[in-house]
Chains A and B, each alone.
Chain A
């Protein structure tokens, strides 16, 4: 008769036990960890989605202010930082491309470069990473600490679903926040891009610049931007909430969970971004 190992016993034996001297075992363990992580994250995401829709009207008076608070936190509070990065991004892209395009007399492609590099790729990804660092990390710490101090059980004792109260507002707030911040960053980067081009004596009037941008932008760009940025925000919220909440944590494990959440969020955002590149290629 084969004894079945419980999930925790399996993890303790296979994932945390001492490794034999074999690279194959090392990679095997990493692969197993990846599979378990994907399984856990996937299940948590599905549960969150389910709760979001099944408890749409529940606890409205308690949850609505939380959504507003999280949206402001993931959106408004980062405006100063985003403004700085918008200016920096405009400078970086324009600064690098102006000299190149001027050399071959192709300044008419400045707008296309801004749209391709900033609007479609760098802008959304940079915004997502900034939100991840400032708000995502705080999510893990707050929820991990709340879990360790028993606040989750306190919510359950009051008949309040912890996912509905703690996670759903963060997912909605960060999805809206990342979308809004990205739009703000893109406008700022495009404006600052022209300002830097002007300072570098590029023979380009504002009207020509706007015409170039309008010519390079497609309807698909707006749709993809809205979906991609919302998904970035939702994904960051889900991953960080998972690491803060889904695992029983002791206070001393919160920092390790934060680092893991940040790394996984970055990887998933990049993978998601790569997926949207396929959309452009197919279109």
Chain B
């Protein structure tokens, strides 16, 4: 059960007794009876080993897959499937940064990848789109790579392009799938600090704080006061107060895997 919040803030994403489908076999349940609420101002860290269903959970939270059972609500109301116009405005308030290279579009340059959601959804002047894209590229350190195609980029930079593309629509909730996977300490540090700035209120989003939910396979860089933690174990989602607590570590073998004794490189 989720820990009680003394001052309940608006629920942005709610999964209620949801059966989360597996991405590769949509009629199979990867997780059963998941009840998870992401509230405004939350910073969730969801830990799980490979194959535990982290991506499946984020897909369901983003509305890309429908729960096989139970309920899914976005900003307080039900929404249609990912490809329909029903609830599109609400779905655009949630951003999902895919892991493993960010799933960029290979036929578009970095600039075009970042501009695509603006071109499609926001009927604004080309100069305004160009200005916004330039700002996003500058804030994510991608200005010199704007004309490059994704195939010519290091995976670490592709991941940042995915982040810039997702931020183009100024989402209120940002879901990230293992953003530090395969990154060196320099890139990993950049991500941690950038997400902290997003959470605190970044000029890119007009100073508004972004609600975050990050799926990770290593808790170490993410332990900080004020955050909420969840653990994916054997098709269940368990909420934990403090992953580093000795009692919890003794009880959960998975938690010991996600919080090894040696310090994290960053």
Q: Which residues of A pack against B, CB within 8 Å? A: 6, 8, 58-63, 149-151, 153-154, 156-163, 165, 248
**CB 8 Å contact bits of B76-91 with A (1 = contact, 0 = none):** 0000001100001001
A159 and B88 within 8 A (CB): yes
- Residues of A contacting B59 with CB < 8 Å? 153
B123 and A61 within 8 A (CB): yes
- Residues of A contacting B82 with CB < 8 Å? 156-157
- Of B27, B64, B103, B116, which is within 8 A of A62 by CB? B116
CB pairs A–B below 8 angstroms (22 shown): A59-B119, A59-B120, A59-B121, A61-B120, A61-B126, A62-B120, A150-B98, A153-B59, A156-B82, A156-B83, A157-B62, A157-B96, A158-B165, A159-B91, A159-B92, A159-B117, A159-B120, A159-B121, A160-B120, A162-B83, A163-B83, A248-B24
Q: Determine if B105 is an interface residue (Cβ-Cβ < 8 Å).
A: yes
**CB 8 Å contact bits of B166-210 with A (1 = contact, 0 = none):** 100100000000000000000000000000000000000000000
A158 and B123 within 8 A (CB): no
- Residues of A contacting B126 with CB < 8 Å? 61
| Shortest distance from the beta carbon of B245 to any chain A beta carbon, whole Å | 35
A149 and B27 within 8 A (CB): no
Interface of A is mostly: helix
- Of B24, B27, B116, which is within 8 A of A158 by CB? B116
- Of A151, A163, A165, A248, which is within 8 A of B103 by CB? A151
**CB 8 Å contact bits of B99-134 with A (1 = contact, 0 = none):** 000011100000000001101110100100000000
B117 and A160 within 8 A (CB): yes
Most interface-central of B27, B83, B92 (chain A CB within 10 A):
B83
Number of interface residues of B (CB under 8 A): 26
B117 and A158 within 8 A (CB): yes
A61 and B119 within 8 A (CB): yes
Q: How far is the CA of A150 from the CA of B117 in the complex (A)?
A: 17
Q: How far is the CA of A156 from the CA of B79 in the complex (A)?
A: 14
Q: How far is the CA of A161 from the CA of B92 in the complex (A)?
A: 13
- Residues of B contacting A163 with CB < 8 Å? 83
B103 and A156 within 8 A (CB): no
- Residues of A contacting B169 with CB < 8 Å? 158-159
Least CB separation from A55: chain B residue? B85
**A161 touching B83 in the complex, CB below 8 Å, given contacts A149-B103, A150-B98, A154-B103:** yes
Q: How far is the CA of A197 from the CA of B121 in the complex (A)?
A: 58
Least CB separation from B168: chain A residue? A158
Q: How far is the CA of A213 from the CA of B59 in the complex (A)?
A: 62
B27 and A154 within 8 A (CB): no
| Shortest distance from the beta carbon of A212 to any chain B beta carbon, whole Å | 48
Least CB separation from B65: chain A residue? A153
| Shortest distance from the beta carbon of A65 to any chain B beta carbon, whole Å | 9
Least CB separation from B102: chain A residue? A154
- Residues of A contacting B91 with CB < 8 Å? 159
- Residues of A contacting B96 with CB < 8 Å? 157
Q: How far is the CA of A143 from the CA of B98 in the complex (A)?
A: 19
| Shortest distance from the beta carbon of B174 to any chain A beta carbon, whole Å | 12
- Residues of A contacting B165 with CB < 8 Å? 158
B103 and A150 within 8 A (CB): yes
